[in-house]
A = this chain, B = another copy of it.
Amino acid sequence: MKSRLHKFQDGYTWTGVEKEPYRKPSEKAAGCYCGVHRQTFIGLKGEATKFHFRYFEIPPGGSSSLEKHMHEHAVVCARGKGRVLAEDMIYDMEHMDVLYIAPDVPHQLINPYGEPFGFFCIVDAERDRPRELSCEELKRLEASEATKGKFIGYIEGD
């Protein structure tokens, strides 16, 4: 394992880092995280770090999946701007803002704007799998003044 530099390039890509689609579109979350791309700087090349360091980009109109998990997120807005649902709050992220997302809270990163929303995201290398929200949690978000109409959700059944 050698030290290495990933040079920043036009279009928010970096030398030596592959740009890959983030998850496959599912019917359930149709239109949600389609078009989201990930680039992984640290975590896939045999590093011993206890963290993974990635860059994600959400196209206009897109979002990450609405989910929760025990591992925490550190997020830095690097391109454009975006909106983040975390727990019972909406956060507006602009250039270089830093967000901490606490364990086990429903969260979603959303791009309601006309330009790509790009952000660095740091997570523990060993982490639990994301889980879908319960129907009750979704209804609570839909009912809350702060969050209703601000996220891209899916209410199963009803």
Check A76 for interface membership: any CB of B closer than 8 A: yes
Quickly give the copy total for this chain: 2
What is the minimal beta-carbon distance from A141 to any residue of chain B, in angstroms?
A: 14
Interface members, chain A 43-76 (any B CB < 8 Å): 47-51, 53, 72, 74, 76
B5/A91 in contact, CB under 8 A: yes
What is the minimal beta-carbon distance from A115 to any residue of chain B, in angstroms?
A: 16
Q: Please, what's the 1-or-0 string for A86-113, where 1 marks a CB less than 8 Å from any CB in chain B?
A: 1101010111111111110101000000
B98/A14 in contact, CB under 8 A: yes
B42/A100 in contact, CB under 8 A: yes
A5/B97 in contact, CB under 8 A: yes
Please indicate the chain B residues that have their CB under 8 angstroms from the CB of A125 in the complex: 50
Contact among B47, B78, B105, B126 for A100, CB-based, below 8 A: B47
Contact among B4, B72, B89, B94 for A99, CB-based, below 8 A: B4
Q: How far is A8 from B5 in the complex, measured between Cα atoms in Å?
A: 26
Check A129 for interface membership: any CB of B closer than 8 A: no
Contacts known (A2-B87, A89-B3, A103-B1); A8 close to B50, Cβ less than 8 A: no
